[in-house]
Structure 1
Amino acid sequence: MTTIYIGVMTGTSMDGVDLVAASFDPLHVHATLTVPFAPELRDELMALTLPDINEIDRMGKADIALAKMIGHGINTLIEKNNLDRSQIRAIGSHGQTIRHRPEHGFTLQIGDPHLITEITQIPVISDFRRRDMAAGGQGAPLVPAFHQALFQHPDIHRVILNLGGIANVSMLPAGQPEKVYGFDTGPANILMDAWCHRYTGQPYDENGDWAAYGQPIRSLLERLGAHEYFSKEPPKSTGREDFNLEWLDEQLSDWRNDLDYEELEDTPENIQATLMKLTTRAIKKAIYRCDLMDTGEVYVCGGGAYNSHLLEQLRWRLRKHHWTVQTTEVLGLSPTWVEATAFAWLAMRFVQGQAGNLPAVTGAKGDRILGSITAV
């Protein structure tokens, strides 16, 4: 009988909860579902990523609301696709990160696993990041271990590029599993989405069309690129705590004060184009820094995989060393479902008593079994 695991992922973009029912060896995706956030819950989760008043009470309410959303979403996934509950071994629920502070040794994801188990009557594996942190790691990114298991090629260098709110790379040197590493490169959609929503009312810049209309502003790009995160050496990870609309507004204010107004090409679309260039420049730097991989294949997943202008910019930036840029669709897994599938895989690793982290990626002292179980 096939054993199925359900993966649950909500990322820094906070556009919804992705659910995947999958089995492994070989990978087979049985069912998928995205449950969009109610606007009021999304707003609260966004607010909780930064310090504010009455955080604990508000966090507790959001923890319950998100768990109910996840639990009922899983039941819907099972019922709509006629999945056999007896085949479902466990749920791997990442939860919503509301604070990630690796420099202080802590991270916090909410979405109460006890409530999810109560609603679904299925064991839940959760809290994947803190075991790695306890071993001295960043607790992120965790998906490179899955990328290695699924996508590493014996003869071709590959990079798996996840473009969620934050961008991260998994560097997969051909035939060298011991050399795999990865890290967060910086913002992907997190700033572009927020800026687009402010000026157009749309949740994201579809196909990157608005950014394509603008021209990057060199002086602003240099100011944004001076953020200390970009000069840090891996292992490293980041999130909404470092890159958010408030930070961008501060940078814009300082930049405007440093220049004569007549010199500015200060239009919203030019700033959007600058934010896109900030993302692609950091990704290029991350890929070119690897001495083991002079050329190869880049496969993109996450919401940013559907930003055609962003992918064209990446192809142009990586043309020197003849890197190809495609989405993970050509490898048999839709860009939308890669991360949720990764957490189904991590749940499987927990159940089998196998490590889920890569110390070379996170900086942990060694291999660790990730997660905690909430039994039925």
Structure 2
Amino acid sequence: MMSKVYQVLGMMSGTSLDGLDLAHCQIWKEGENWHFELHECKTIGYSADMYEKLKNAIHLSEKEHDQLHAVYGHWLGQQAKMFLEENRLKVDFIASHGHTSHHRPDEGITFQLGDGQVLANVSKEKVVCDFRSLDVTLGGQGAPLVPIGDELLFSDYGFCLNLGGISNISFRKDGKRIAYDIGMANMPLNYLTEKIGMKYDKGGQLARSGKIVPQLLSKLNALEYYRQPYPKSTGYEWFSEKVAPLLDNSRASAEDLLHTVIRHNCGQISLAMRKERSKTNGKMLVTGGGALNGFFVETLQQELGNDCTIHIPSKKIIEYKEALVFALMGVLRLENQINVLGSVTGAKRDSCSGVVFRPQE
């Protein structure tokens, strides 16, 4: 028997700050299996002003942070309304991840900007948001959350790797879904290209032309985070405190720095995979912006060897998988079903997370 077919607008802003992803999704369940279709999708770039505000939100005073929470929620509502009107779409609700300004789960802190009530009022749509906070109160990392989508929508793959600002991996082990943030992906790459006046290194062409900086590679590989056991998650705080100074202090060219970072990223991903490879099948789905970086993908396949094969899906899934999964999480929240896995986050139990807001006049 087929369940209700939900029409959902999924909205996601990642740590790499490359824009707001909007994805109109159809989601339904037949028997025990969940299904989806991705329809209209769009990425809206941030203005220079909004980019700087979001990037520096971690340094704001409490009052300024509250103001940005409301301002960004209003902006999200405007973007959602315009997107739905332009494409003549009707939705049952909006599922919004917001933008993470603070993520220090070990201190019980996580915050996603984008006030859900303001978003609902401006868009005139029901909104489900704030998917991380409950898990953190249950002792979890509040991240990664996408593995519920890997479990329910992409279970044909032994591994699901996302290369966003951060690299995270998801797989089944001993009958449970396990996932964690391995380390970096695009965040340091975008940081480096920004310094030379480029938004990103298209296809990894600059990185491909560079060479390894051995001293930097050693310092990156020695970072303490990599030795921590999972469950674990990381974010911009770790990057700005531990990684950015290593890049800033190097006198190497941009090409060599980009090349070294990709070699480092792929080495760490390969190390993480080797520990688990015998436990599951060797097909790996790769999504996120890094999947469009040809040099990154080629280097990763070289590191992984022949017993793990990378699968790059359609560009739409690469770019909008996270928005899709937050749409799914919203559906599960409204169906009162588990949407955050304690086996992934380290929380004391699974949970049904997300706060529901309805438009107020």
Q: TM-score, normalised by structure 1?
A: 0.88
Q: Report the secondary structure of 2:56's partner residue.
A: helix
Cα gap change, 1:295 to 1:348, in 2 (>3 Å): closer
List per-residue Cα deviations over 1:59-87 (Å, max 9, x = no partner).
23322232122111111221122113xxx
- Paired residue for 1:242? 238
Q: Give the Å deviation of 1:268.
A: 2.5
Q: 1: distance between equivalents of 2:253 and 2:123?
A: 49
Where do 1:286-365 residues align within 5 Å?
Answer: 286-290=272-276, 292-293=278-279, 296-319=282-305, 321-329=306-314, 334-365=317-348
Q: Give the Å deviation of 1:13.
A: 0.6
- Paired residue for 1:224? 220
Q: 1: distance between equivalents of 2:311 and 2:181?
A: 20
- Paired residue for 2:64? 58
List per-residue Cα deviations over 1:138-165 (Å, max 9, x = no partner).
0000000111101112xxx521111111
Q: 2: distance between equivalents of 1:238 and 1:373?
A: 27
Check conservation: 1:288, 1:294, Cα contact below 8 A: no
Instruction: Name which of 92, 95, 99 aligns with 2:95.
Output: 92
- Paired residue for 1:260? none
Amino acid at match of 1:39: A
Q: Report the secondary structure of 2:279's partner residue.
A: coil
Q: 2: distance between equivalents of 1:237 and 1:208?
A: 26
Check conservation: 1:210, 1:272, Cα contact below 8 A: yes
Q: 2: distance between equivalents of 1:217 and 1:208?
A: 17
List per-residue Cα deviations over 1:279-312 (Å, max 9, x = no partner).
1111111211115436511111111111010000
Q: 2: distance between equivalents of 1:83 and 1:58?
A: 34
Q: 2: distance between equivalents of 1:15 and 1:136?
A: 30
In structure 2, list runs of 5 or more residues that go unmatched. 29-34
Q: Give the Å deviation of 1:315.
A: 0.8
Where do 1:139-218 residues align within 5 Å?
Answer: 139-153=142-156, 157-172=157-172, 178-199=175-196, 201-218=197-214
Instruction: Name which of 42, 48, 59 aligns with 1:39.
Output: 48
1:13 aligns with 2:16: yes
Check conservation: 2:27, 2:36, Cα contact below 8 A: yes
- Extract structure 1 runs of 4+ deviating beyond 6 A: none
Amino acid at match of 1:31: E
Q: 1: distance between equivalents of 2:231 and 2:279?
A: 18
Task: Name the % identity.
Answer: 31
Q: Give the Å deviation of 1:249.
A: 4.7
1:251 aligns with 2:246: yes
Across the aligned residues of Structure 1 and Structure 2, the Cα RMSD in angstroms comes to: 1.9
Amino acid at match of 2:289: G
Q: Give the Å deviation of 1:97.
A: 0.3
Instruction: Name which of 120, 126, 131 aligns with 1:117.
Output: 120
| Number of equivalences | 350
Instruction: Name which of 265, 270, 275 aligns with 2:256.
Output: 270
Check conservation: 2:342, 2:349, Cα contact below 8 A: yes
- Paired residue for 1:261? none
Q: Give the Å deviation of 1:32.
A: 1.4
- Paired residue for 2:32? none
